[in-house]
Amino acid sequence: MTPRGPAPAALVVRATALLLAVAALGHTLWNGVAEPGHALAFGLLITVGELARWGAQPGEREPAPLGAAGALAYALLGRSGGEPTAQGVPQVITVVVAAQLLASVPHVARGSGPAPDQLARRVLTVGFAAVCCRPLQQSGLSERWLGQGPYVALFLLLLLLLTALCDAVLAALTAGTGRRFGPQLRDELHALSGIGSAVCATGVVMALGVAVAGLWALPVLCVPLLLTQVSFRRYAAVRTTYRQTIASLARSTEIAGYTPHGHARRVADLSTAVGRELGLAGPELTVLEYAALMHDIGQLSLVDPVADGATAVLPAAEQRRIALLGGEVVRQTGVDPAVAAVVEQQADPYREQQTAARIVRTVNAYDDLCGEGVKGPLGALEQLRLGTGRDYQPQVVEALARVLARGGLAPVRAG
């Protein structure tokens, strides 16, 4: 598929964040920094959190949770050691932007600077929280309406829910996947139950802790999230190694000459895109990717390789035997049994398959058919549509067509 540039919505988000940052910086320079000690302390916390992004895995939704929590806490901070704080909305944004730029220097020098969309989201999300919170705190309305009891915590939690929703909307707008906004937003909202909830909770706890104990509470309160971040990095590294092991095992059919070069990777990438198009997310996409990588492993049982590895042209009984053998091999490797189940269902009628199996079978057939020079992408899609009575689910075929249309109907094979 052809590379895609930033979507118009992403460009608008970037421009808005840039204008907001410039305006906030100008206002702060003109009026000076209120309570420099607090600005410096939270600025250092955000900078340390952003620097801890070092080693983040590609595609990680929140690579700097400590920095995000610190920025959120500064936006929500109404008191410090029992005394009212004086930072305004422009200063909050200025401190966050300055800290992110400072932390970006070593990352940029290393060639792995933060994505512009991620920076823009951070600026707009923190700005949203500050606009909703700081005017009420500075005018005394929040204390008059909520007092100093549990209502303050409830108010902050409600505000964080709105802030998280704002961030999810921005993430959906800047995703750049070409998916429709609705499914992308559902995916982002689903992801909030992970590291996003830890960031929000830590941000509230930091703000409440500093309100009572002052800045000395920051080092104590940020340690749990920092340790969680380190543990998550290790877990992500293990998952990356696991995925690479599966990809290497999947290439065994290519090395043995049973399937064309890159076939498993093409099917996995396209299957994942179709899965997202159909609303799959999280663990479902992981199972789908692994099954797509290993769907042809049963071909190793064949005495003579099928031409171009195109099992879609074999008799149904032979397809069924290869699928069952492939599922058995997958089970022996210790991979998630759900992956083996998807592989075993590759030769079943689509009405008897789970969604992941329907996707892998359709995309595999598409790649196989594209290998027949007389068909090509358009001919392959037409052939799939003719097989929707038994072999391929119509909704999956049309989702595949939409994914291909957004990336151009270029052949998925090299050459």
Q: Which two three-digit tokens encode residue 388?
A: 């929707």
Q: What is the pLDDT of residue 200?
A: 80
pLDDT tens-digit series, residues 41-91: 999 999 988 887 655 555 555 556 788 888 999 999 888 888 889 899 999
Q: How far apart are CA 71 and CA 51, in angstroms?
A: 14
Nearest alpha carbon to residue 366 among 350, 383, 351, 353: 383
Top pLDDT among 372 and 103 is at: 103
Which range of 143-152, 162-171, 318-327 scores highest in mean pLDDT? It is 162-171
Over 90: is that where the pLDDT of 17 sits?
yes
Give the end-to-end CA distance of the chain in Å, rounded to a whole number: 14
Query: Is-contact 78 142, C-beta < 8 A?
Result: yes
**Helix, strand or coil, per DSSP, at residue 79:** strand
Q: What is the pLDDT of residue 410?
A: 47
State mean pLDDT over 17-31: 94
- 163 CB-near residues (< 8 Å, 6+ apart): 72, 125, 128, 129, 132, 200
Q: What is the mean pLDDT of the chain?
A: 81
Q: Which two three-digit tokens encode residue 63?
A: 């690579």
Q: What is the pLDDT of residue 19?
A: 96
Whole-model pTM over 0.75: no
Over 60: is that where the pLDDT of 413 sits?
no
Residue 32 φ then ψ, to 5° = 85, 170
26 φψ region: left (φ > 0), alpha (ψ -120 to 50), beta (else):
alpha
Over 90: is that where the pLDDT of 95 sits?
yes
- HSE of 346, CA atoms in CB hemisphere, 13 A: 32
Q: What is the DSSP string of 270-329?
A: HHHHHHHHTT--THHHHHHHHHHHHTTGGGGG-SSPPGGG-GGGS-HHHHHHHHHHHHHH
pLDDT tier, 242 (very low <50, low <70, confident <90, very high otherwise): confident
Q: How far apart are CA 415 and CA 413, in angstroms?
A: 6
Residue extents of the structural domains in the chain: 8-238, 251-407
Query: Is-contact 146 159, C-beta < 8 A?
Result: no
- 412 CB-near residues (< 8 Å, 6+ apart): 266, 270, 366, 367, 370, 377
Nearest alpha carbon to residue 43 among 86, 89, 96, 91: 96
Q: What is the pLDDT of residue 310?
A: 62
pLDDT tens-digit series, residues 96-115: 999 988 988 887 777 766 67
CATH class of segment(s) 251-407: mainly alpha
Give the angle 109-114-117 at the CA atoms, nearest 5°. 145
Over 70: is that where the pLDDT of 403 sits?
yes
Over 80: is that where the pLDDT of 12 sits?
yes
Angle between helices 355-370 and 337-344 (to 10 degrees): 50
Nearest alpha carbon to residue 359 among 276, 259, 247: 276
Q: What is the pLDDT of residue 54?
A: 59
Over 80: is that where the pLDDT of 130 sits?
yes
State mean pLDDT over 109-134: 85
pLDDT tier, 414 (very low <50, low <70, confident <90, very high otherwise): very low
- C-alpha of 91 from chain center: 30
Query: Is-contact 294 339, C-beta < 8 A?
Result: yes
Instruction: Tell me the CA distances in angstroms from 231 to 37, 73, 81, 270, one per residue in order.
Output: 31, 23, 32, 31
Query: Is-contact 23 90, C-beta < 8 A?
Result: yes
pLDDT tens-digit series, residues 186-232: 777 777 766 777 788 888 888 888 988 888 888 888 877 777 777 77
By residue count, the chain amounts to: 415
pLDDT tens-digit series, residues 152-182: 778 878 888 888 888 888 888 887 666 677 7
Q: What is the pLDDT of residue 308?
A: 60
